[in-house]
Amino acid sequence: MYDVILGISFLAAIYMAWNIGANDVANAMASAVGAKAITLRQAVVIGGVLDFAGAVLLGSHVTTTIRKNILDSSLITDPQVMMLGLLAALLAAAFWVFFATWSQFPVSTTHSIVGALIGFGIVAGGFGAVKWGPVAAIVVSWVLSPVFAGLLAYLTFVFIRAAVLRRPRAFLAALRWSPLFAGLAVLVTTASLLMETPLGTRLGIGNRTGFIYAVGFSTLIGVVARGWVSRTIRDLEGRGVEEMFRRFQVFTSCYVAFAHGANDVANAIGPVAGIYIIYTTHSVTQEAPVPIYLLLLGGFFIALGVFTWGYRVIETVGSKITTLTNTRGYAVDFGTATSVLVASKLGLPVSTTHAAVGAVIGVGLGGGLAAVDFKVVWKIMIYWVVTLPLSAIPTMIIFKALRMIFI
Amino acid sequence: MRSGFLSLFRRSPFDGLLKHAEVIREVAPVFQLAILAYLDGNFDDFENYHNKVTIAESQGDSVKRNIRGHLPHGILLPMDKFQLLWYLREQDKVLDATQDSLHWLSYRKTDVPDEFVDDLLLMVEKVNDVLKSMYPMVATAEAYFKSFSELDRESVKAAIHQIRDYEFQSDQVERKLLSDALSHGSLDPTSVFHLVRLVEVLGEVSNHAENAGDMMRAMISR
C-alpha cells in the first residue's frame, strides 16, 4: 500500500511541478519578454535553469513549512492516515490547478496546496489538527507580499524617475547609478544563498560574513556591469537609458526566476516530502529534513514545464504586455523577486503571481504605466478567498474515498 | 491560461488621443478648402468638403467615446483622470467648432466683401495652423509620459506655446474682423450677423485648442 501511495503522490507532484513551470513562470518572466529585455529563447533558458537552481538551493525553507507548519502531527499520529491525507491534498490541489488552467481563473498554486492541507487537517483531526498560528502567518504573508512588492516597485520606479529620467543628462545619471541597479538584484540573491542555508553552513560562513561576501560580490558585479554598459551603449540621448535598463532586466529576470523556483517548488514537493518521510520511517515524524533529491526532482519538472509548454505561455503573455518599458519592467521585476525571495527566506509560501500584480500596481501608482486596472486586485482577492474552500472541500472528499479504498 | 497578471494592463488613453488628434490634423486642409470654395462661390465643392468634415467629426466623436469607455473606475493613469477627460473634452471641442463653422456658413450664401477676404483668409490660415499643431502636442506628451525626460517635457511645453501663439494671432485677426464687420456701412445686417458669428466660431476653434494646451500643461506639471 505504501508503494502505491508513494507512486501516485510522485505522479501528482510531477504534474504540479510541471504545471508550475508551464503556467506560473510566464507571470514571472513575461514582463521581461514584453519589454523586449530578453528573447523568448533566453526567457525559457533563464526560467528553466534559474527556477531549477532556486528550487534546489533555497526551496527547502518553504517545503519544510508546507510539510510541518500547517498540520499538527501530534493529533494525526496514524502514518497511513497522514500519507493518504497528504496524497488527497496533492490530488485536490493538482485537480484545482488543472481546473483553473482550463477555465483561466487567476488562482495561486500556493494557495491551493495550503487550502488543501487545511482541508485534510480539519477532516482528519478536527479544527485542532491545523496549526492556526502558522497558518494565520501564512495568510497574512499573502496580503503583505503583494503590498511589499508594490511598495518596493513604487519606490524603485520613483527613484529611477527622480535620479535618472528627469535629469538633464539622463544617460550619464543612469550610468552613475548603474552599479546600484545591477548590483541590488545580485546582492539579495547572494545574501539569500549564503545566509542561513546549507550552502552557507557547508562553506562555514556565518550570517555577518555571508552578508559581507554578498555585498562584495554584488559591488563587483555592479562595477563590471557599469563597465559593460558604458562600453557597449553609445546612444547618450534618446533610448540610451531604456537600453541600459534593458540590459539590467537580464539580471532581474534571473532574479525573478530564481525567487520563483525557491518559493514555488514547495507547492509540488511539500506534501510528497511528507509522504516520502513516512514511507521511509513508517512513522509521522517532524524532524527528518527534506531530501535534496526531491528538490532536484521538483526543480527538474518545473524546468521541464517551462521547456515543454511554458514558452508558449510566456510568448502569449509577453506579446500582450506592450506598455511596459524597460525602466518599469526593472522596477516590477525587482519588487516581485525581492518580495518573494524575502518571504521564501522566512519560510512563507506566497504567490509569485500576486507579488507581480502588486509590483505592477506599485509602478502604476508611481505614474509609470499608461493605464493599470486596479480592479484586478479585487478579482484576485475573490479568487484567493474561494481557492481555500474549493481546494479544501475536494481534499476532504478525496481523503474519505482514499480511506475507504486503502484502510 | 490563468493569468491575473495580464488583465492588469489596459490600453493607453494616448492611443485614442493620438487617433483623435490625427483626425483633427486631417480635417485641417479640408476645412481650408471648404472656406476657399465658399469664398469663390463654388457651393457644390463647399458642400462636398463640408460633408467630409462632418464625417471626420463623427469619427472623432467615436474615438472620444471609445477613450471614455475605456477609462472605468479603478484605472490608474500617470495623470489625474479628471484632467485627462477635461483635456479630451477640449480637444473634441476643437473639432466640433471646426464643424460648426462650416455648418454656420452652409446656412446662408453671403457675398463676402473684398476688403474682408484677406483678413478672413488670414484667420482661416491661423485656425488651420492651430488644427495642425494639436497632433505634435499629443505625440510629444505621449513620449514624455513614457520617458519622463526633461527634453520631452520641454518639447510638450514648446508645442503648447506654439498653440498659444497661434491663438493669440487668431485673436488679433478676429478682433479686427469683428470691428470691420460691425462698422461696415453698406453690408446688410443679416450678412453682418452671418460674418460676425462665423468669425466668432472660428475664434472658438483656437480658444478650445488653447484650453486643451492649458490642460496638457497641467497634466505634465511636476
For residue B78, the chain A residues in CB contact (below 8 A) are 367-370
Which of B93, B107, B115 is closest to B197 using CA atoms?
A: B107
* Mutation target among B5, B145, B148 for the A interface, most CBs of A within 10 A: B5
* Mutation target among A374, A383, A387, A390 for the B interface, most CBs of B within 10 A: A374
State pLDDT tens for residues A261-289: 888 888 888 889 888 888 888 787 666 77
Amino acid at B120: L
**A residues 162-201 lying closer than 8 A (beta carbon) to B:** 165-168, 170
For residue B11, the chain A residues in CB contact (below 8 A) are 370-371
Task: Name the minimum distance, in Å, from the CA of B195 to any CA of chain A.
Answer: 44
Distance CA(B83)–CA(B97), nearest Å, equals 21
Inter-chain CB proximity B2 and A161 less than 8 Å:
no
Question: Looking at residue A22, what is its pLDDT?
Answer: 84
**How many residues are recorded in chain A?**
407
Inter-chain CB proximity B150 and A23 less than 8 Å:
no
Inter-chain CB proximity A364 and B76 less than 8 Å:
yes
CA angle, A303 as apex, A298 and A308 as ends, to 5°? Answer: 125
- Strand positions, DSSP E, A120-175: none
**A residues 306-335 lying closer than 8 A (beta carbon) to B:** 313, 316-317, 320-321, 323-325
Inter-chain CB proximity A373 and B9 less than 8 Å:
yes
Q: Are A198 and A160 in contact (CB under 8 A)?
A: no
Give the chain A residue nearest B10 (alpha carbons). Answer: A371
State pLDDT tens for residues A237-250: 667 888 888 888 88
Helices H / strands E in chain B, number of each: 6, 1
Q: Are B8 and A373 in contact (CB under 8 A)?
A: yes
Task: Name the minimum distance, in Å, from the CA of A292 to any CA of chain B.
Answer: 30
State pLDDT tens for residues A24-65: 887 778 878 888 888 888 889 988 999 999 888 888 878 888
Inter-chain CB proximity A167 and B150 less than 8 Å:
yes
**A residues 79-98 lying closer than 8 A (beta carbon) to B:** none
Helices H / strands E in chain A, number of each: 15, 1
Q: What pTM does this model have?
A: 0.88
B185 or A47: which leads in pLDDT: A47
Question: Looking at residue B37, what is its pLDDT?
Answer: 96
Taking the alpha carbons at both ends of chain A, their separation in whole angstroms is: 9
Question: Looking at residue A236, what is its pLDDT?
Answer: 64
Q: Are A74 and A396 in contact (CB under 8 A)?
A: no
State pLDDT tens for residues B35-50: 999 999 999 999 999 9
Contact of A380 with chain B, judged by CB distance below 8 Å, is answered with: yes
Inter-chain CB proximity A371 and B76 less than 8 Å:
yes
Would you list the DSSP string of A294-326? Answer: HHHHHHHHHHHHIIIIIHHHHHHHHHH--S--H
State pLDDT tens for residues B116-137: 999 999 999 999 999 999 999 9
Q: Are A62 and A294 in contact (CB under 8 A)?
A: no
Task: Name the minimum distance, in Å, from the CA of B5 to any CA of chain A.
Answer: 6
Q: Are A283 and A2 in contact (CB under 8 A)?
A: no
| A310 Cβ contact list (under 8 Å, min separation 6) | A21, A22, A23, A25, A26, A44, A47, A48
- Name the residue facing A106 among B4, B14, B145 (closest C-beta): B4
State how far the alpha carbon of B53 is from the alpha carbons of A28, A121, B90, B102, in Å: 48, 71, 18, 8
Average pLDDT value for residue range A177-203:
82
**A residues 36-75 lying closer than 8 A (beta carbon) to B:** none
